[in-house]
Amino acid sequence: MHELSFEPDDRYNAFLAVCKKAPYGKGKLSGIAIAVKDNISTRGIETTCASKILKGYIPPYDAHAVELLRQSGAAIVGKTNMDEFGMGTTTENSAFGPTLNPCDTNRVPGGSSGGSAAAVAGNMVRMALGTDTGGSIRCPAAFCGIVGLKPTYGRVSRYGLIAYANSLEQIGPMGQNVSEVSTLLQVIAGKDRHDSTTYDRPYNHNPVADIKGLKIGIPTEYFGEGVDPKVAGVVKTAISRLEELGASTVPCSIPSMKYALAAYYVTCTCEASSNLARFDGVRYGPAADSKKSWHDAYKEVRKAGFGTEVRRRIMLGTFALSSGYYGKYYAKAQVARENVKADFARLFSEVDLIAGPTMPTIAFRLKEKSDPLSMYLSDILTVPANLAGIPAISVPCGKADGMPVGLQIMGRPFEDERVIDAAYAYEQAVN
């Protein structure tokens, strides 16, 4: 075993924990510094999900993805800041202060994997793990000008990922370029007996910069209302670059987009209300007062330990699942989700890839999104891929008002390879 010294100048508050002497071994990633989002369990390293309720929690085991990183020789150098439990689009919902965007420190890095994105964009590490429930890898990748991939649902084990909305979320790679994202996916993808939703679909691909003959669908909804025309313009230029590289593009439509965001927020808050019931101060976290009655003790711990957005989502989910409302919200959201999947299946019988902006705007200014609904609305272009379980990548494609813009490329389930190749072809052509 060797040790890597790691003492970054963390002026962006990207890290919640730093391993100054990070052990590493032999392998494909030998000695390479990798940052890990703080909702992914790391044996012996404090893991808080950026929440006061997990302050001091030291996981007794590694997440499967972390175990694979260690086996490949990587040096786990620290845990990165995030929106508490992954709930947010800015990394401002952290109990330990916001992360700043390295491209402009008056702006947010995006979220919820904002710490991982800032660590990569700020050159503290080359690669990081993030998690993506409704855009949490792709949004900060776009806002910070790096590459981030949400793999196909089931391609990477969620064992050891502290669950927020388990039917939607995936661990995925973030890096300074497409090759690094691909290398990291090679290490973390594959079947895991501890996560029964994983498939035996390892990823052994090296990116190839060739998209000749591919057909790319351009959904009108991705350039519609709410999308900043400057961002749309930058992305359209990037898409014409894909055409120059030999791909053909066709306009298309995803009619279910009109209720995708609502379906997403109903589903994720319902799952959160169930998943986060475990945080009661008994097995971990601040002690519940054992002299008080069960409900009183839990209420006390949870009110003090959870931030406002987490409490809001738990309550929304509890409401949407409560007697008399289940049919109106949760059941309808699942039908809408199937419609989103069906729309993508239909489109992917005609096109090989779908492309558009990752985010409707550039990075927000700090404290700009103070109203929860307006923050939720900014996830409109990323949540469809989570609802459908398909792979989606964000690759930097230029700037608007001096800030990075991300080109989002989505593909058929388990065609992460093709999504990566297209992003690689674009990246190679412009750099």
Print the binding letters for residues 353-392 with other proteins: x by CB under 8 A, - otherwise.
------------------xxx--x----------------
Minimal distance in Å, beta carbon 247 to other proteins?
Answer: 30
Active site residue 369: no
Distance CA 376, CA 356 (A): 19
Choosing from 41, 136, 256, 378, the catalytic residue is 136
**For other proteins, which residue of 204, 303, 349, 431 counts as binding (CB under 8 A)?**
303
Total number of residues that touch other proteins (CB under 8 A): 65
Q: Select the span of 84-92, 119-127, 193-201, 404-412 touching other proteins (CB under 8 A).
A: 193-201
**For other proteins, which residue of 25, 31, 55, 61 counts as binding (CB under 8 A)?**
61
Minimal distance in Å, beta carbon 160 to other proteins?
Answer: 13
Minimal distance in Å, beta carbon 294 to other proteins?
Answer: 5
**Are 123 and 96 within 8 A, CB to CB?**
no
| Binding of other proteins by 96 (CB under 8 A) | no
Minimal distance in Å, beta carbon 167 to other proteins?
Answer: 9
Minimal distance in Å, beta carbon 79 to other proteins?
Answer: 16
Q: Select the span of 142-150, 168-176, 297-305, 396-404 touching other proteins (CB under 8 A).
A: 297-305
* Residue whose CB is less far from other proteins, 279 or 424: 279
Q: How many residues does the chain have?
A: 431
- Tell me: cis bond preceding 370? Omega within 30 of 0 counts: no
Helix/strand/coil (H/E/C) assignment for every residue in 295-339? HHHHHHHHHHHCCHHHHHHHHHHHHHHCCCCCHHHHHHHHHHHHH
Q: Select the span of 139-147, 214-222, 239-247, 314-322 touching other proteins (CB under 8 A).
A: 314-322
Choosing from 37, 79, 150, 369, the catalytic residue is 37
**For other proteins, which residue of 282, 398, 415, 429 counts as binding (CB under 8 A)?**
282
| Binding of other proteins by 345 (CB under 8 A) | no
Active site residue 37: yes
**For other proteins, which residue of 13, 48, 339, 394 counts as binding (CB under 8 A)?**
339
Site residues (CB under 8 A) for other proteins, limited to 218-247: none
Q: Select the span of 5-13, 64-72, 142-150, 190-198 touching other proteins (CB under 8 A).
A: 190-198
Distance CA 53, CA 410 (A): 36
Q: Which two tokens stand for residue 25?
A: 């071994």
Distance CA 128, CA 180 (A): 10
**For other proteins, which residue of 1, 9, 60, 225 counts as binding (CB under 8 A)?**
60
Residue 405 CA, distance from chain mean position: 17
| Binding of other proteins by 322 (CB under 8 A) | yes
Query: Which residues are CB-neighbours of 240 under 8 A, at least 6 positions away?
Result: none
**Residue 395 falls in which region: left (phi positive, over 0), alpha (psi -120 to 50) or beta:** beta
Distance CA 228, CA 107 (A): 17
Minimal distance in Å, beta carbon 293 to other proteins?
Answer: 6
> Measuring CA to CA, which residue among 262, 39, 276 is closest to residue 170?
39
Tokens 């990070």, residue?
22
Active site residue 30: no
**Residue 331 falls in which region: left (phi positive, over 0), alpha (psi -120 to 50) or beta:** alpha
Choosing from 41, 72, 94, 112, the catalytic residue is 112
Residue-by-residue DSSP string for 237-271: HHHHHHHHTT-EEEEE--TTHHHHHHHHHHHHHHH
**For other proteins, which residue of 1, 9, 293, 324 counts as binding (CB under 8 A)?**
293
Residue 356's H or E segment, with its range, is strand 353-357
Count of beta carbons in the 10 Å neighbourhood of residue 430? 12
Distance CA 109, CA 104 (A): 9
Minimal distance in Å, beta carbon 269 to other proteins?
Answer: 9
* Residue whose CB is less far from other proteins, 183 or 256: 256
**For other proteins, which residue of 208, 315, 345, 430 counts as binding (CB under 8 A)?**
315
Count of beta carbons in the 10 Å neighbourhood of residue 251? 9
Minimal distance in Å, beta carbon 368 to other proteins?
Answer: 17
Q: Which two tokens stand for residue 53?
A: 């309720």
Binding site for other proteins (CB under 8 A): 56-58, 60-61, 193, 196-197, 258-259, 261-263, 265-266, 273, 277, 280-300, 302-304, 306, 311-312, 314-316, 318-320, 322, 328-329, 331-336, 338-339, 371-373, 376
Looking at the annotation, which residues are catalytic?
Answer: 37, 112, 136
